[in-house]
Amino acid sequence: MQLDIFEHSREVMLRNDAVHALEQRDASAALQAYQPLSREYPADASLPALRVLSGYIEQAEVDRHDVLRDHEALREARQLLHETS
């Protein structure tokens, strides 16, 4: 299957918005970007990981600690993604 940039551009844009928010550690923005992506493209393969990472960052904001601050935190996040995928 060949990627048609015009056919897939909205999906890519929404996914990129969510990823950018995650990179900024902004759980609220990530969830706001996740919602239209999940509504418009419910079969998108990135949805489970985006949801888990958004929740992880959201919980970190509540707990007031730095997300993915060290190797152990990265290992835990990876394990969580593996378990939910």
Mean predicted lDDT score pLDDT of the chain = 82
Res 67: pLDDT: 62
The domain locations on the chain are 5-84
pLDDT in tens, 34-70: 999 999 999 999 999 898 888 878 887 776 666 666 7
Rounded to the nearest 5°, which phi and psi values hold at 5?
-60, -35
Nearest to 34 by CA among 18, 56, 55: 18
Where in 1-85 does DSSP place strands (E)? none
One-letter-per-residue 3-state SS of 37-75? HHHHCCCCCCHHHHHHHHHHHHHHHHHCCCCCCCHHHHH
Higher-pLDDT residue of 80 and 64 is 80
pTM: 0.67
